[in-house]
């Protein structure tokens, strides 16, 4: 555990399921889907056809990219499962998150609501416990995620979270920077001695 994966083949995207979101956020989600396809990176996502999730997955699929959706049976209708992409149906939210985690080498967070928050706080809490070293990149247009980062900093200021936690992720303002930022993470390789690459 605590390892940065050697390979970057699959990228999990956590993002909102609302169709009422800012059209700019929906457009950016589609830009990311196409960018992942063009970079030959498989998209792993929540399996729905709604909101930023649907926009990202449809764009990746239409651009010829590989897509894996993971959706709980009880959400298939509500989140309008995308039936044109490979989808694993699970029975619980916990199972969904575990499979999304296991199937991914890195994570991207786009604007989202409480569901997205739940997913990324768990992911970062696992990072804080050194359970993984997978890259995490936030797309934060206009500082969208700044209130969350301020809350994290608040817990650091009160000595409830170690300061190193604030280095557990990277943030980009422009969606076009996501793939290059993922690729810029140091990785263990044949020409490097270290087996563990600490990102924090």
* 8 vs 60 by CB, closer to ligand AMP: 60
Residue 112, classed as helix, strand or coil, is coil
Q: Residue 3 has which token pair?
A: 């390892």
Residue (of 22, 27, 31) closest to 144 by Cα position? 22
Q: How far is the CB of 89 from ligand AMP (least distance, A)?
A: 14
Helix residue ranges, H only, 63-92: none
Pairing of strands 86-90, 106-109: unpaired
* 54 vs 65 by CB, closer to ligand AMP: 54
Q: How far is the CB of 138 from ligand AMP (least distance, A)?
A: 14
- Could you tell me if 70 and 100 are in contact, meaning their C-beta atoms sit under 8 angstroms apart? yes
Supply φ then ψ for residue 46, to 5 degrees: -75, 0
Q: How far is the CB of 189 from ligand AMP (least distance, A)?
A: 33
Measured CA to CA in angstroms, residue 167 lies from 5, 43, 162, 200 at distances of: 18, 24, 10, 5
Instruction: For residues 75 and 177, give the distance between their C-alpha atoms in angstroms, rounded to a whole number.
Output: 32
- Could you tell me if 75 and 49 are in contact, meaning their C-beta atoms sit under 8 angstroms apart? no
Binding site for ligand AMP (CB under 6 A): 16-18, 46, 48, 51, 53, 75, 79, 93, 96-97, 112-116, 118-119
* 28 vs 119 by CB, closer to ligand AMP: 119
* 131 vs 164 by CB, closer to ligand AMP: 131
* 120 vs 172 by CB, closer to ligand AMP: 120
Q: Which residue is nearest to ligand AMP (CB)?
A: 115
């Amino acid at each position: 555990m605590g390892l940065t994966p050697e390979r970057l083949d699959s990228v999990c995207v956590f993002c909102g399921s609302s169709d009422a979101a800012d059209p700019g956020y929906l457009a950016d989600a589609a830009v990311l889907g196409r960018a992942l396809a063009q970079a030959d990176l498989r998209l792993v996502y929540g399996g729905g056809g709604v909101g930023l999730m649907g926009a990202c997955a449809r764009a990746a699929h239409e651009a010829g990219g590989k897509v894996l959706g993971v959706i709980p049976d009880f959400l298939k209708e509500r989140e309008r499962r995308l039936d044109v992409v490979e989808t694993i149906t699970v029975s619980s939210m916990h199972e969904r998150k575990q499979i999304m985690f296991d199937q991914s080498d890195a994570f991207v967070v786009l604007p989202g609501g409480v569901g997205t928050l739940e997913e990324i706080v768990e992911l970062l809490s696992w990072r804080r416990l050194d359970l993984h070293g997978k890259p995490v990149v936030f797309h934060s247009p206009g500082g969208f995620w700044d209130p969350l980062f301020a809350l994290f900093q608040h817990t650091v200021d009160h000595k409830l979270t170690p300061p190193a936690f604030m280095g557990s992720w990277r943030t980009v303002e422009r969606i076009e920077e996501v793939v290059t930022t993922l690729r810029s993470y140091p990785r263990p390789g044949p020409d490097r001695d270290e087996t563990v690459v600490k990102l924090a």
